[in-house]
Amino acid sequence: MKLYDMKMAPNPRRVRMFLAEKGLDIPMEQVDIQAGENLKPDYLAINPRGVVPTLVLDDGTVLDESIAICRYVEELHPEPNLFGKTPLERAQVESWQRRMEFEGMFNIAAAFRNTMPAYANRGSPGAGPATPQIPAMAERGLMMTRHWMNGLEARLSASPFIAGDRFTVADITAFICVDFAKWVGVRADDSHPSLKAWYQGIKARPSAAA
């Protein structure tokens, strides 16, 4: 199998970190999104959506959603478990992982894509119609990113990890979102002591550098 990746981009980083937690090393190819390589015919022939990550299996099957890729890897390599062991834990991990995507990633991306000059007319990621940047979306994204970060503080003051008492895929998404938020100027500060302590703990894991 082969992973199409971009080192700087948050979604492929989720997959790299997940693979590192599993102790797996698979071939990767870099796709420069900022330069528009993901929108060129060669890449669109692999993934018509024009997004990364894309995992291409040995038989040519394509998986192009970060969490779907992670779930596939979890099925093949169940340990260490990152999606939950019991029905209840799986539901809790699912819930928190989705919240990190919809309340974190989605809003940070809105702030990022609607302001960065490199993405003028690329307000939406991947192949599709040219989408002009909309300043109001950036403003709302920023407001909701701050709200999400305050919610993380509340969660982590009551729980050692995002989904409960151990590290899971929800921590991977949250950690990468906290780093992504810096790109739009939103950082943990003195009002986020639990978030900061959790962040340092996750950053110390070798997978954080993947």
Ligand X SMILES: N[C@@H](CCC(=O)N[C@@H](CS)C(=O)NCC(=O)O)C(=O)O
Minimum separation from the CB atom of position 127 to ligand X (A): 8
Q: Between residues 47 and 192, which has the closer beta carbon with respect to ligand X? A: 47
185 CB-contact burial (10 Å; exposed 0-12 / middle 13-18 / buried 19+): exposed
Give me the residues paired with residue 56 across strands.
2, 62
* Residue of 173, 164, 202 lying closest to 86 (CA atoms): 164
Put the strands of the sheet holding 62-63 in their side by side order.
28-30, 2-5, 54-56, 62-63
Q: Between residues 53 and 141, which has the closer beta carbon with respect to ligand X? A: 53
Among 11, 107, 114, 145, binds ligand X (CB under 6 A): 11
> How many residues in the shown chain lie near ligand X by CB under 6 A?
14
Structure tokens at 209: 């550098």
d(CA 132, CA 49): 18
Instruction: Note whether 148 and 180 are within 8 A (CB).
Output: no
Stretch that binds ligand X, among 8-16, 73-81, 161-169, 193-201 (CB under 6 A): 8-16
d(CA 48, CA 126): 9
Minimum separation from the CB atom of position 52 to ligand X (A): 4
Minimum separation from the CB atom of position 87 to ligand X (A): 25
Among 22, 99, 122, 192, binds ligand X (CB under 6 A): 122
Instruction: Note whether 176 and 199 are within 8 A (CB).
Output: no
Q: Between residues 50 and 153, which has the closer beta carbon with respect to ligand X? A: 50
Among 103, 125, 152, 177, binds ligand X (CB under 6 A): 125
181 binds ligand X (CB under 6 A): no
Neighbours of 147 (CB within 10 A): 12
Q: Between residues 91 and 118, which has the closer beta carbon with respect to ligand X? A: 118
| Ranges within 30-69 binding ligand X (CB under 6 A) | 33, 38, 50-53, 65-66
Q: Between residues 65 and 179, which has the closer beta carbon with respect to ligand X? A: 65
Binding positions for ligand X, rule: CB under 6 A:
9-11, 33, 38, 50-53, 65-66, 122, 125-126
